[in-house]
Structure 1
Amino acid sequence: MYTSLAVQHATSPHAELLRDSFYVVHDGTMTWHDVPGLAQYAAIHVQRNLGDGTYRFDYSRHPIASLAQNWLAGRGADPEQLTVEVEDPMSTDQATRGLEGFLAASGDRFRLVDDYTHDSPDFYKTWIIATDVRPDPGQQPIRVFYEDVDTATHSYTLRQGGFATVEAARSWVDRLGHPENPLPPLTGAPSARAAGAGAHSSVAVTVSAPTAPVPATAEGRPNRPQRR
């Protein structure tokens, strides 16, 4: 139940032989795992030693595809080439695309504290609590990245919010889905907002009624599996 979302190969400069391969995959088996909420995306890096005829296989799990891309970029993948493509991508909006691109190219700026994926058919949402190790002046040090999938409209959005402490962020995710629980906006210098490529809004995003996505071909996503 693995769905390949992005693939990039790198050849040796001295021969037309594959040296590195990078993959982003969605692991549908995690839906049926004994431990609920686990990350469903995997980043896979295959390194080949052409002289010895050996290879090394490394992988890492991530709650959203852009963080899997980030992990691979840190191991030599080209973010411009490692783009997600599927046959039937979900539609999204410009704010989501901007934030996904920002995360994929953010390097080691964010350290994940916790994450959870709710994957029931009528409540498919992922939250991530992360520490910003290089916040811009005036910016909160803790962020929540929140992905909301609307299976009825085959669309999704990704938003971010700022918090002063991890405890405050946990308090927000504990009330996920409550109509009076808006995602606090990320504050900070204009340069910080520009880095998010429009993903930050001065208006809080309401969980119960996220901004309706503008149909567009985004960095594609697979159809989400349904739980038993």
Structure 2
Amino acid sequence: MLSPTEPAPARTSTPQVDFELDAFDADEEMYLDFYRQVAVREDMLVPLAEHHSPDGAHSYYVLFDRSAAYGHPGMPSYVAVHLKRDREKETFDFEQALLPLPAMAQSWLIHRGCPPDAIGLNPELGPPPADEATRALARRLAGDGDHYAMGYSYTSVDPDDMVTVVALRALDEGAPSPFRVVVEEVDTDAWTHTLREGGFDTVGEALQWCDDRLTGQADPLPLVRPAAAATRPAARPKTPAPRPIGRSR
């Protein structure tokens, strides 16, 4: 993954995305949707991963949006795009989602038909994982992302504390630690990144930890309770349901 504020140091040029739509058309509403949601910032999108089906009908992209750092504070930096082409009619359709972590973009695409082993991130772009715990959590997020709904995320581009926090809710009401926080931290000196996860019993506790982390006052993340220790929580007042991971057109 790329840092929100600078390109990967190992490259002298940044790859550009090509949606390969020159030979395709769409109705006016579809074309305008694609332009407004994706193509308007095409020159700022860096392809971290992409896969095209052998028949050319489907393309899947994990894109880093370099313009996100200059938009609304805290906005996600990654865009997942699924293009669907009808070669006989020469038309296309698409879905897209803004997401705070590359693994979440991979998950979104995998659950729209992309082969899991075909959407690996380009290792030459961005800081590599610092340890096996980071790699393991990224794999789990990519594979199990449909088990959770995202309620909140914030990406800080402060070069002295480059961090993304994401609050998730397990869709299985009986899951241990039903509310999770995933935090990604970039070490700009070592040029590596870490992913860590914590478990919470309530949405309020999860969001408070996120706020505390962003102000540098957070305690260590609490461990996720193992499944064997999980018990169905007592009934409590309902909280507004967070939106599902990502948003489609």
TM-score category of the 2 structures, normalised to the smaller one: 0.7 to 0.9
Aligned residues: 185
- Deviation of residue 134 (structure 1)? 2.2
Q: Residue deviations 1:157-180, cap 9 Å, x none?
A: 000000000101111112116466
Aligned to 1:5: 48
What is the aligned partner in structure 2 of residue 53 from structure 1?
90
Output the CA distance in 2 between the equivalents of 1:76 and 1:191: 34
C-alpha change, 1:81 and 1:190, in structure 2 (3 Å) is farther
Aligned to 2:209: 172
* Aligned 8 A contact 1:162 1:186 in 2: yes
Q: Distance in 2 between matches of 1:159 and 1:24?
A: 21
Paired with 2:218 and 2:103, the residues of 1 have a C-alpha distance of 29
Amino acid in the other structure paired with 1:104? A
Residues 158 and 136 of structure 1, relative CA distance in 2, 3 Å threshold: farther
CA distance in 2, matches of 1:20, 1:130: 29
> Does 1 or 2 have the higher relative contact order (CA < 8 Å, sep 6+)?
1
Q: Which moved more, 1:169-178 or 1:150-159?
A: 169-178
Q: Which amino acid aligns with 1:103?
A: L
Consecutive unaligned residues of structure 2, counting only runs of 5 or more, are: 1-43, 231-249
The residue that corresponds to 2:116 in the other structure is: 79
Q: CA deviation at 1:86?
A: 4.1
Change in CA separation of 1:180 and 1:82 when aligned onto 2, cut-off 3 Å: closer
Tell which deviates more after alignment, 152-161 or 180-189: 180-189
Residue 133 of structure 1: aligned partner: 171
- Could you say what secondary structure the match of 2:109 adopts? helix
* Maintained 8 Å contact 1:136/1:188: no
RMSD of aligned residue pairs (Cα, Å) = 1.9
Aligned to 2:224: 186
Q: Which runs of 5+ in 1 are unaligned?
A: 13-17, 193-228
SS in structure 2 of the partner of residue 105 of structure 1? helix
Counterpart of 1:8, as a letter, is H
Between the aligned partners of 1:28 and 1:11, the Cα distance in structure 2 is: 30
Q: Which has the higher helix share?
A: 2
Name the TM-score, length of structure 2 as normaliser: 0.70
Contact between 1:109 and 1:132, CA under 8 Å: does it hold in 2? yes
User: Are the structure 2 counterparts of residues 186 and 20 from structure 1 closer, same or farther at C-alpha, using a change threshold of 3 Å?
Assistant: same
Task: Look up the match of 1:208.
Answer: none
Does the Cα contact within 8 Å between 1:44 and 1:60 map onto a contact in 2?
yes
Question: 2:135: which partner in 1?
Answer: 97
Higher strand share: 1
Q: Following the alignment from structure 1 to structure 2, what is the Cα–Cα distance between the partners of residues 128 and 69? A: 16
Distance between the aligned counterparts of 1:51 and 1:172, measured in 2? 52
Amino acid of the structure 1 residue aligned with 2:172: R
Give the alignment's TM-score, normalised by structure 1.
0.76
Q: Distance in 1 between matches of 2:200 and 2:153?
A: 15
CA positional deviation for 1:108:
1.8
Q: Which of these residues, 105, 128, 147, is aligned with residue 68 of structure 1?
A: 105
Q: Which secondary structure state, in structure 2, belongs to the residue aligned with residue 100 of structure 1?
A: helix
Q: Work out whether residues 136 and 189 of structure 1, in 8 Å CA contact, stay in contact via their aligned partners in 2.
A: no
Which residue does the alignment assign to 1:195? none
Is 1:37–2:80 an aligned residue pair?
no
Q: Does 1:147 find its partner at 2:190?
A: no
